[in-house]
Structure 1
Amino acid sequence: MAHPRPLDRPVGCAVITVSDTRTPDTDQSGSLIQTSLTAAGHRVLDYHIVVDEPDLIQDLVIQWGANTALDAILVNGGTGIAPRDTTYDALEALLEKTLPGFGELFRHLSFQEIGSRAMASRAVAGVYRGKLLFSLPGSSKAVKLAMDTLILPELPHLVSLLRG
């Protein structure tokens, strides 16, 4: 089977920051994701900050899953192992397909920057209702690493694969 043609339009994205303390004024990671996407020519169609409660995270992803203008949902925060870190658990339950390579590569790249602490990240990616779903740590350094080295270089290609 031939590879699909590259997208001839910007990718429609939505951003979720999972945090019990961040506000739009203090959300550096959410802002970084949005800035990176728009600088790459993509569209940010929605943005929300949600407290780290699995039901609230899932409700928003389910709502956005029905939005035909969205191609990708990028989530940051709540990917560790602390008691309040529930993002991975909430999203993993929704994923119809996983992209194990994303988490593997992210942890490998993180290891090169922060050492063995990278093993505590539960960064994950996959597909939900025909949309890419990326879950990143809340650290701005981690977000920059994931956006610059993994997500932005492959986002149009991955969306084109989903579109067939």
Structure 2
Amino acid sequence: MPNVDEFIPLNIAILTISDSRTPETDTSGQLLADRIQEAGHNLVARDLVSDDKDALTTRLKSWIDNDEIQVIISTGGTGLTGRDNTPEVFESLYDKPIPGFGELFRMISYKFIGTSTLQSRATGGIANGTYMFALPGSTGACKDGWDNILKEQLDSRHGPCNFVGILPRLKER
């Protein structure tokens, strides 16, 4: 389906992965929530889990199985330390990866933080017809990921193509 003239709001869930943040100090999750709602989408779920593989896997699986949720965006856990497990968990759940998401994120990030972008393992993919995007935990990274990639690709009016246009066909076999 090509881009359309009418905006189609999506149902989006935000997950913050952190051992140190609380709902009150989750500035990155709040930035994403604000931008998602400002863009006209529906924020249908928001949660915070620790940097624990099992907790993260459990939360993601429940959201992937929820037909109401069309997009999951996470923040945190994409670095290189021992507790950073987000990319491994996300990638274990993908039916199809979207390698260009991480590549484009790092290209955009390079403009702002230079070679430090090598420490980001941002990733994107599809699981059970649900888009999944893992962003780093900094507010700057969330801003870059939303403003320069996701805002356009999650807008049905963006051309020549966008993620919304193929959403109905993601589960086709």
Q: Give the structure 2 partner of residue 97 of structure 1.
A: 96
Q: Give the structure 1 partner of residue 35 of structure 2.
A: 36
Q: Give the structure 2 partner of residue 112 of structure 1.
A: 111
From the superposition, tell whether residues 82 and 7 of structure 1 become closer, same or farther in structure 2 (CA, over 3 Å): farther
Secondary structure of the residue aligned to 2:154 is: helix
How much has 1:67 moved relative to structure 2? 1.2
Matched, 1:160 2:169: no
- Distance of 1:3 and 1:37 partners within structure 2: 22
Please say if residues 132 and 159 of structure 1, whose CA atoms lie closer than 8 Å, have aligned partners that are also in contact.
Answer: no
Secondary structure of the residue aligned to 1:47 is: strand
How much has 1:69 moved relative to structure 2? 1.2
Q: Give the structure 1 partner of residue 25 of structure 2.
A: 26
TM-score w.r.t. the length of structure 1 is: 0.94
- Distance of 1:49 and 1:98 partners within structure 2: 24
Percent of aligned pairs with the same amino acid:
36
How much has 1:79 moved relative to structure 2? 0.2
- The one-letter code sitting in structure 2 at the alignment partner of 1:151 is L
- The one-letter code sitting in structure 2 at the alignment partner of 1:158 is F
- The one-letter code sitting in structure 1 at the alignment partner of 2:102 is G
Please say if residues 33 and 143 of structure 1, whose CA atoms lie closer than 8 Å, have aligned partners that are also in contact.
Answer: yes
Q: How many residues align?
A: 163
Mapping of residues 1-150 of structure 1, within 5 Å? 3=2, 9-150=8-149
Please say if residues 7 and 160 of structure 1, whose CA atoms lie closer than 8 Å, have aligned partners that are also in contact.
Answer: no
How much has 1:162 moved relative to structure 2? 2.1
- Distance of 2:5 and 2:97 partners within structure 1: 22
How much has 1:65 moved relative to structure 2? 1.0
Give 5+ residue unaligned stretches, structure 1: none
From the superposition, tell whether residues 97 and 6 of structure 1 become closer, same or farther in structure 2 (CA, over 3 Å): farther
How much has 1:31 moved relative to structure 2? 0.4
- Distance of 1:133 and 1:6 partners within structure 2: 25
TM-score w.r.t. the length of structure 2 is: 0.90
How much has 1:68 moved relative to structure 2? 1.1
- Distance of 2:96 and 2:6 partners within structure 1: 21
- RMSD over aligned Cα, in angstroms? 1.4
Give 5+ residue unaligned stretches, structure 2: 156-161
How much has 1:97 moved relative to structure 2? 0.7
Secondary structure of the residue aligned to 2:46 is: strand
